[in-house]
A and B are shown apart, each in its own frame.
Chain A
Amino acid sequence: MKTLLELSAIRHAYGQQRVVNDLSLTLGKGIIGCLLGPSGCGKTTVLRCIAGFEPVSAGKILLNGTVLSSSSVMTPPERRHIGMVFQDYALFPHLSVVDNIGFGLHSMQKGERSARIAEMLKTVGLADSAKKYPHQLSGGQQQRVALARALAPRPELLLLDEPFSNLDVSLRGRLSLEVRDILKSQNATAILVTHDQDEAFAIADEIGVMHHGEIQQWDTAYNLYHKPANRFVANFIGEGVFLPGKMLARQQVEIELGTLAGDIPHQCAPDCRLCQEGNVVDVLIRPDDIVHDDASPVQAKVMQKAFRGADILYTLQLPGGSTALSLVPSHHNHAIGEKIGIRLEAEHVVAFSQTAP
């Protein structure tokens, strides 16, 4: 796959505070990437650096092998061929939907221009609202206009800054899948910024979890959940608890609930001391690693329960006193304080040394 975008060790600071810290990533053509992280982690700044609204103090940003930003180069945003969907959409209130979408098509012939506008209107399903003005549209419609406007000039790369944060929750899920379809139908390469993992999972092919201006792990959604590279990623993605465990062998670890065998954490290099026999480690246990089994001799006390429709998420107190989570089909409805039988059923072992970050 051809690399479209490359960030190599870029750095950005507001005054004394360094917001982006030697961050690198590469994005292949046609891929939808995502920067996922809590607010203040620097993800929007990275996006604005790529767009050319912020300079980089070190490192390089390359598009198709051409340097756009470095400590000495700064291509102005209007010459980057990078589209952007803003968090507040930034639609032009004095222009109709058609004129908003056609805004970036100033170099096209008239006929070509209106054909492209019509195509974009159809793509985002707003053909009926062509003559309307932004204030006459719903939030979801405004979002689609913003997307169509950014995609219309066929940018090399599309940036989306928290594109769904202004929409209500029920709309978010539907629209994020729709946006993915639109992007794929246009063969677009895109980077999305969000703090919402469901959104990231729904849209992106590859996700980078960001913290303190650095990418902690760049991977698929599956790997982020099942093979987190560090404690931050393990905590940030999904739910789970850490239970102390003791290494029995290279591929065996014993925790309170039993012995786990399976893949050694993928980042464990041959010379790492983590998996040496006798080492004490923290083992990540996800709610789906603990199943409810009435026949099991291990009994845990229900401390809290959260009903989620198909499942109930139980917070359990294990016999040894530590806490764990368990996702149980919701017809197993137990009261708080009740003791239920549980069994360990994990396919991967994710363990961190107790001193590791």
Chain B
Amino acid sequence: MEAGTEPEKGIGTTDSQGTRKGFFSLPTLSRHASRGWRLIPLLVAALVLIPVGTVVSSLFTPAGEVWQHLAETTLPDLLANTFWLALGVLAGVTLLGVSLAWFTAVCEFPGRQFFSWALLLPFAMPAYVTAFVALGLFDYIGPVQTTLREWFGPDLFWFPNVRSRTGVIIVMILAFYPYVYLLARNAFLTQGKRSLEAAQSLGLSRTQGFFKVALPMARPWIAGGAMLALMETLADFGTVAVFNYDTFTTAIYKAWFAMFSLPAASQLASLLIVIVFAMIILEQQFRSQMRYAEIRQSARAHLITLSGWQKWGVTGFASATLFFAFLLPVAQLGIWATRVFARDFDQRYLEFLWHSLLLSGFAVLLTCSVALLMVYAARRQPGRATRAAVRISTLGYALPGTVLAVGIFIPIAWLDNQLSEMAMQLFHMETGLLIQGTLATMLIAYMTRFLAVSYSPIDSAMQRITSSIDEAAMGLGLSGWSMLRRIHLPMLRSGVFTAATLVFVDVMKEMPITLMTRPFGWDTLAVRIFEMTSEGEWEQAALPAVALVLAGLLPLIFFMRQSEK
């Protein structure tokens, strides 16, 4: 049977040696030039590998005095802080994410449909915004404690200290649980109900079925979501900075900008990267399990009906989560922003906004173009080398911004020195620093970090253009640019749009790379928030934060529209 269909498939795509040419040929590219496609992923992979290599290599270079000092004084604290933070967030996002996913996917309770999407809203909140709002609200001088003191007297010994390890952990759980929620809910929706019925027909109650079947089946998704949350936690800079809770990311920043020791920063970064790599390996493991566990979506079974107090309990639980993770911070931001609006909405604010938009725009352009090229390269020149290169290139999303900043700054500084020395020797010219402290450094860093974000939607759009679609188009006389214009671009459009939106918002929210590699005086909204919050000026941080939250809602709305279809 296969032999019978082969010649048909080959029409128009088989050359004299019988090997199949690329699915798609641009008229300007000869066959030889098409080999060049392979270079693109390799180049991009190198771009990711350079900062990683730079940072990792400092693991093996002799450390300076500053490092000695750090290792003796702060390193044990850093490790402990990072460990407890990671553990706490991991436990919290898993519990919160899985339980909410289960309730909204399988149980019937008042407001279920609303909460199904509303519980994703915290995705729009950068963690550091939730963090400073929480501090502003619940700190000693905040409105909550002030009010309580008025009611119960000055002695609020029972009120927990917000500026604590628990405080950071809770804020990060509220900010990152949607990762677990989204993935676990997907798993429960596609397989939970049918397999629950199977378990029931084998004599298990629904509660037993949840623990024995639904939960273990969803494990790869849950673990995948938890890993994403964990990577965000390890990469986080803004939240821990607001709380003055020292982790590797803040230590890297301080080593560089307070102690002016790039080697020490790099040493710290190398330790962080080792931890992150361990996470990546785990995450890839879970991802491969997901493939095997995949099951076709089957007809829907009934939702579990909960008893009276149970269902209102669930509604209360979901409402509380939504309230603390989204509604309360947004409301507080709104109050602060209106209070300072008249004073702060000035030329400078517009400049922050303009810088943020400009950077995000450029980053979108660069990142999406590179992603498109990579996707085409993977299509035209599939092979082990290309696959490996694509994989490496998209690993940048796991690199914490602080690590990336260090890893990119060092080679660029070296390159700058080489260039100016060369200019000096050849032309006796004083060139100064050419690349350092320019937008180019930032854009490369953004591209490295967010390539995966733009790659996956474009890639999945490309997967939908099957080879038979190409062949059908060829059979109807389309080729080269007309194929690109009439088939590929329309089919890729929504993928590219998703990619652009996601990168745009991510760059808007990005804090450490911007902070550490920006040209002098180039302040963005995120930088402004960092500066204001490090002085405890919550109100003044609110206005830029509002812009970030609004931008963060964009991809969410887009995403929800799509999933409704």
Q: Which residues of A contact B (CB under 8 A)?
A: 51-54, 76-79, 81-84, 86-88, 90, 92-94, 103-104, 106-107, 133, 135, 149-150, 153, 159
Chain A nearest Cβ from B219, distance in angstroms: 7
- CA–CA, A159 to B216, complex, Å? 26
- CA–CA, A104 to B202, complex, Å? 5
Cβ contact within 8 Å between A92 and B201: no
Q: Given A53-B302, A94-B216, A84–B198 Cβ distance below 8 Å?
A: yes
Contacts of A159 in B (CB 8 A): 201
Cβ contact within 8 Å between B198 and A106: no
Chain A nearest Cβ from B250, distance in angstroms: 40
Cβ contact within 8 Å between A88 and B203: no
Cβ contact within 8 Å between B292 and A88: no
Q: Given A53-B302, A87-B298, A133-B292, A92–B200 Cβ distance below 8 Å?
A: no
Q: Which residue of B lies closest to A86 (CB)?
A: B198
- CA–CA, A346 to B199, complex, Å? 51
Q: Given A53-B301, A78-B204, A94–B217 Cβ distance below 8 Å?
A: yes
Any A CB within 8 A of the CB of B213: yes
Cβ contact within 8 Å between B201 and A94: no
Any A CB within 8 A of the CB of B113: no
Contacts of B195 in A (CB 8 A): 90, 92
How many residues does chain B have at the interface if contact means C-beta atoms less than 8 Å apart? 23
Partner of B201, one of A51, A54, A107: A51
Q: Given A53-B301, A54-B302, A94-B217, A83–B296 Cβ distance below 8 Å?
A: no
Q: Given A53-B302, A133-B292, A90–B198 Cβ distance below 8 Å?
A: yes
Q: Which residue of B lies closest to A103 (CB)?
A: B202
In this complex, the member of B197, B201, B204, B296 whose beta carbon has the largest number of chain A beta carbons within 10 angstroms is: B201
Any A CB within 8 A of the CB of B293: yes
Cβ contact within 8 Å between A78 and B200: yes
Contacts of A94 in B (CB 8 A): 216-217, 219, 293
Contacts of B295 in A (CB 8 A): 88, 93
Cβ contact within 8 Å between A77 and B217: no
- CA–CA, A82 to B203, complex, Å? 9
Cβ contact within 8 Å between B197 and A90: yes
Contacts of B202 in A (CB 8 A): 78, 83, 103-104, 149-150, 153
Q: List 21 A-B contacts (CB under 8 A).
A: A52-B200, A53-B301, A77-B201, A78-B199, A78-B200, A78-B202, A78-B203, A83-B202, A84-B198, A90-B197, A92-B213, A93-B292, A93-B293, A94-B216, A94-B217, A103-B199, A104-B202, A107-B203, A133-B292, A135-B292, A153-B202
Any A CB within 8 A of the CB of B438: no
Any A CB within 8 A of the CB of B194: yes
- CA–CA, A144 to B216, complex, Å? 23
Contacts of A92 in B (CB 8 A): 195, 198, 213, 216-217
Interface residues of B in 192-241 (CB under 8 A from A): 194-195, 197-205, 213, 216-217, 219
Chain B nearest Cβ from A5, distance in angstroms: 15
Cβ contact within 8 Å between B200 and A90: no
Contacts of A150 in B (CB 8 A): 201-202
Cβ contact within 8 Å between B298 and A82: no
- CA–CA, A197 to B260, complex, Å? 82
With contacts A51-B201, A76-B205 known, what are 8 further pairs, Cβ within 8 A? A53-B197, A78-B202, A92-B217, A93-B217, A93-B294, A135-B292, A149-B202, A150-B202
Cβ contact within 8 Å between A82 and B201: yes
Contacts of A90 in B (CB 8 A): 194-195, 197-198, 298
- CA–CA, A90 to B293, complex, Å? 11
Cβ contact within 8 Å between B203 and A104: yes
- CA–CA, A153 to B296, complex, Å? 26
Contacts of A103 in B (CB 8 A): 199, 202
Contacts of B298 in A (CB 8 A): 86-88, 90
- Give 1 or 0 for each of B278-305: 1 = CB within 8 Å of chain A CB: 0000000000000011111010011000
- CA–CA, A79 to B204, complex, Å? 8
Cβ contact within 8 Å between A86 and B203: no
Contacts of B301 in A (CB 8 A): 53
Contacts of B199 in A (CB 8 A): 78, 103
Chain A nearest Cβ from B156, distance in angstroms: 49
Contacts of A135 in B (CB 8 A): 292-293
Cβ contact within 8 Å between A88 and B194: yes
